A and B are shown apart, each in its own frame.
Chain A
């Protein structure tokens, strides 16, 4: 995948990517933007955890536009970015690894997610954060799939 990073200054990094997909439904776009931004601004889980899960989801799907985006206020080292691309989570702390392990299974192995894996996220971040994370990961998955179906060049 192309590692040239682009920075988006909106509340949530994907709005620039997703807006063209909603061109035929501006009223739907307004509501989607409000919803998607809330994932990043409601505050139940840190933007750093959201960002690493978003990037891992982009790597799983091979979604280059999603991968090239960076959330402006989240700093990731080159080693962390490389680890997210390869799926080696040793660079991250215990609870971040728990979040990434949920993300790893979400798109294609959601039935294999265990009680212990969900509990690990809850233990680290709390119940509200676990719900917020799982909701966000679901829509990171959606975002990658939309882009790849509607703009085939989004795949690498």
Chain B
């Protein structure tokens, strides 16, 4: 697995990381974070269960982010 960024950031002064790369798809990114906020802020699942499953998924997929 690569340990260095695979793309240049959208602006030369940005740090090349996951967050800056999402700047390439601004409309989609904004829509995603609106969705994500709704998921986390409301619903019938308790926040700690959501967080537990999120962390478990990160371990399973080996996602350090």
Interface residues of A (CB under 8 A from B): 24-25, 27-28, 31-32, 34-35, 38-39, 42, 44, 110-112, 114-115, 118-119, 122, 127-128, 130-132, 135
Contact with A along B4-22 (1 / 0, CB 8 A): 1011101000000000011
User: For residue B44, which residues in chain A have a CB less than 8 angstroms away from its CB?
Assistant: 24
User: For residue B35, which residues in chain A have a CB less than 8 angstroms away from its CB?
Assistant: 28, 31-32, 34-35
In addition to A44-B24, A127-B10, A135-B28, 20 A-B residue pairs with Cβ atoms within 8 Å of each other are A24-B44, A27-B42, A28-B35, A28-B38, A28-B43, A31-B31, A38-B31, A42-B27, A111-B1, A112-B1, A114-B2, A118-B6, A122-B6, A127-B24, A128-B10, A128-B25, A130-B7, A131-B24, A132-B24, A135-B25
Is chain B's interface secondary structure helix, strand, loop, or mixed overall? helix
User: For residue B28, which residues in chain A have a CB less than 8 angstroms away from its CB?
Assistant: 35, 38-39, 42, 132, 135
Distance of B29 from chain A, by nearest CB (Å): 9
Size category, B interface? 20 to 34
Q: Can you identify 17 A-B contacts, CB atoms within 8 angstroms?
A: A28-B38, A31-B38, A34-B31, A35-B31, A35-B34, A39-B28, A42-B25, A42-B27, A44-B25, A110-B61, A115-B4, A119-B6, A127-B24, A130-B7, A131-B21, A132-B25, A132-B28
Q: Which of A32, A38, A115, A128 contacts B24 (CB 8 A)?
A: A128
How many Å lie between the Cα of A114 and that of B3 in the bound state?
A: 11
Distance of B11 from chain A, by nearest CB (Å): 12
B32 touches A115 (CB 8 A): no
User: For residue A128, which residues in chain B have a CB less than 8 angstroms away from its CB?
Assistant: 10, 24-25
A31/B62 contact (C-beta < 8 A), A44-B25, A132-B24 known: no
Q: Which of A24, A31, A110, A115 contacts B34 (CB 8 A)?
A: A31
User: For residue B32, which residues in chain A have a CB less than 8 angstroms away from its CB?
Assistant: 35
